[in-house]
Structure 1
Amino acid sequence: MRIGYLVRHGQASFGKKDYDALSDLGHLQSRVLGRELAYREIRPDLIIRGELRRHRETAEGIIEGLELDVPVEVDPGWDEFDFQHVVEVFKPLYRSRTLMVADLARTRHPKAAFQAVFEDATARWIGGGFDGEYAESFPAFTSRVEGALGRMAERGPDKGTVLVVSSGGPIGLAASLMLAGDASLWGSLNRVAVNTGVTKVINGRSGLNLSSYNSHTHVEHDRELLTYR
């Protein structure tokens, strides 16, 4: 490929039994992005997606908006890290969804409260001192995403365009690897990821280079379309 677009999935169902399913808004965001790509005459030669439901549904919405028949491949290297597991290791109370919901409900802003727990939990995960406690350590996650990024570069026509549908974690990590050569920027990049935000990658003589990160002009005109979780 010559150009790659890394797309974060549409809004998932936060607080519901099946978080992995897109919300109605998430489906709309995906179709809006597809229509925007069509308007800009960006026609992917290939779509690669993670194997999660929210990745599949987002890819389907983008294709619907594009009104274009695009081949789709699945690469689990683009799957999100298991954030629920990372949170549960940090806060075992949250192994019970009922207790987690009740605990968050005690706060005035449950989403903000969960975000605070999430950030503390991921800080512990990436710290490196407790790798053995996790099903997938942060170094293992980094290696997995680095492999997926390399495979993306090899797919599609030499001068073609590949679109990847993934999650904020892998996309932020991929951006950090291209910008800094390591995962040091991951936390800051992951924190600001917008649903269906688009990150552009150029595959040149020097390898993969980040052209833009988290572009979301297709949703920022409508506050209801602009979501972060």
Structure 2
Amino acid sequence: MPELLLIRHAQASFGAADYDVLSDLGHAQSRALGEALRRQGVRPVAVYRGAMRRHRETLEGIATALDLPEATVHEGLNEFDSKALLAALGGGVPSDRKAHFRRLREAVIAWQAGEITEPESFTDFTARVMSAQAQMATHDGPVLCVSSGGAICRMLAAAVDAPARTMIDLQLQMKNCAVSRILCTGSATFLTGFNETPHIDAEAAHMLTFS
């Protein structure tokens, strides 16, 4: 039975010229998560990742502790273009972190309502994400997947048949290197875990980040 272990990428470079690069802390998070998964006895039968650099670098860190099959790169696991959504909404991009994410939530809800359709409609985004999920669900056993918050939370919202805007509500709670789990049984999917951070304890509280 396929169980999808959906891992959000480690901390990237928020506010930098190139967000799509892990920070030093992000590299440490990915290695620590690999160690935690090894202690849990996780043995994936297949591995998938998005095509973004932060996905690759996160998986490389995890793989320092786990013996993993060669990864399949699936562009359906890539994040939506948040910069384009914010630009389409207008009003500029706030430099303050909290204001930035409040504005992003507004942009995503407008996108989901069909008010923003470029560079990718929400319908097209959903189709590619669910295509990736369907391919991962063809394996029998645990499948490890490294992706981004939006793509993962689209799958999670669909698994519980929640309204579309639930995606961004979940995404804004999602920690870096967090693990969420979906169990696939025939035509049904079940959410069995959300936002788990087995690599964080009282002595590693500095590893808790959200962007």
| TM-score category of the 2 structures, normalised to the smaller one | over 0.9
The residue type paired with residue 18 of structure 2 is D
Q: How far apart are 1:44 and its partner, in Å?
A: 1.2
Is 1:225 the counterpart of 2:211 in the alignment?
Answer: no
User: What is the DSSP-based 3-state SS (H/G/I as helix, E as strand, rest coil) of the residue aligned with 2:64?
Assistant: helix
Is 1:49 the counterpart of 2:35 in the alignment?
Answer: no
* Corresponding position of 1:98: none
Q: How far apart are 1:138 and its partner, in Å?
A: 1.1
User: What is the DSSP-based 3-state SS (H/G/I as helix, E as strand, rest coil) of the residue aligned with 2:112?
Assistant: helix
Instruction: Report if aligned partners of 1:145, 1:170 keep a CA contact under 8 Å in 2.
Output: yes
Pick from 141, 145, 158: which aligns with 1:177?
158
Higher helix share: 1
Distance in 2, matches of 1:139 and 1:57, equals 29
* Corresponding position of 2:119: 135
Q: TM-score scaled by structure 2? A: 0.92
Deviations, residues 123-167 of structure 1 (Å, cap 9, x unaligned):
221222343xx110111111111111111101x3x2x22101000
Deviations, residues 177-217 of structure 1 (Å, cap 9, x unaligned):
11016635212211211101101121224532211111123
Q: Bigger radius of gyration, 1 or 2?
A: 1
Does the C-alpha gap of structure 1 residues 171 and 69 become closer, same or farther in structure 2, counting only changes over 3 Å?
closer
Instruction: Report if aligned partners of 1:3, 1:162 keep a CA contact under 8 Å in 2.
Output: yes
User: What is the DSSP-based 3-state SS (H/G/I as helix, E as strand, rest coil) of the residue aligned with 1:180?
Assistant: coil
User: What is the DSSP-based 3-state SS (H/G/I as helix, E as strand, rest coil) of the residue aligned with 1:163?
Assistant: strand
* Corresponding position of 2:102: 116
* Runs (5+) with no aligned partner, structure 1: 95-102, 105-109
Deviations, residues 79-134 of structure 1 (Å, cap 9, x unaligned):
0001111111112645xxxxxxxx62xxxxx2112112212222221222343xx1
Does the C-alpha gap of structure 1 residues 126 and 19 become closer, same or farther in structure 2, counting only changes over 3 Å?
same
Distance in 1, matches of 2:116 and 2:18, equals 29
Distance in 2, matches of 1:153 and 1:2, equals 5
**What does 1:20-39 align with in structure 2 at a 5 Å threshold?**
20-39=20-39
The residue type paired with residue 46 of structure 2 is L
* Corresponding position of 1:86: 85
* Corresponding position of 2:75: 76
Pick from 112, 131, 142: which aligns with 1:126?
112
* Corresponding position of 1:107: none
User: What is the number of residues matched between the two proteins?
Assistant: 210
* Runs (5+) with no aligned partner, structure 2: none
Q: TM-score scaled by structure 1? A: 0.85
Distance in 1, matches of 2:177 and 2:68, equals 20
